[in-house]
């Protein structure tokens, strides 16, 4: 199992999450509104964003990443993979069932 962290434009988190889930590229996605301060084109910029915490499988990371890039969320999407080593078996069973390759819809 992995978690994928991504920041998307404020107010777009639910829409993007639903599209990801419709494709069965994740089991669940937590969304949190956050204030972000970043360097962009040599300037410090502040903005509100939606933080997505996506629960998925390692085997789906590249497909998920490509799908998110295809949505043109932003100029350079921030898509970060975090490996999770310790997860309860029941959750992993559900994750594998709901995101099996048979269920993944063409991204």
> DSSP letter at 85?
-
Whether the Cβ atoms of residue 56 and residue 26 lie closer than 8 Å to each other:
yes
H-assigned helices in 23-98: 61-70, 89-98
Instruction: pLDDT band for 107, please (50, 70, 90 cuts).
Output: low
Domains along the sequence of the chain with CATH: 2-98 (3.30.70.120)
- DSSP of 9-59: ETT-HHHHHHHHHHTTS-SEEEEEEEEEEEEETTEEEEEEEEEEEEEE-GG
| pLDDT digit string, tens, across residues 12-68 | 999 999 999 999 999 999 999 999 999 988 999 999 999 999 999 999 999 999 999
């Amino acid at each position: 199992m992995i978690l994928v962290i991504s920041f998307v434009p404020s107010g777009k988190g639910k829409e993007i999450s639903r599209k990801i889930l419709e494709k069965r590229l994740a089991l669940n996605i937590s969304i949190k509104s956050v204030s972000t301060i970043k360097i962009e084109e040599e300037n410090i910029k502040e903005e509100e964003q939606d933080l997505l915490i996506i629960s998925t499988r390692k085997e789906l990371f590249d497909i998920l990443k490509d799908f998110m890039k295809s949505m043109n969320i932003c100029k350079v999407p921030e898509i970060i993979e975090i490996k999770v080593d310790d997860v309860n078996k029941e959750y992993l069973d559900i994750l594998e069932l709901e995101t099996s390759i048979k269920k993944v819809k063409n991204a």
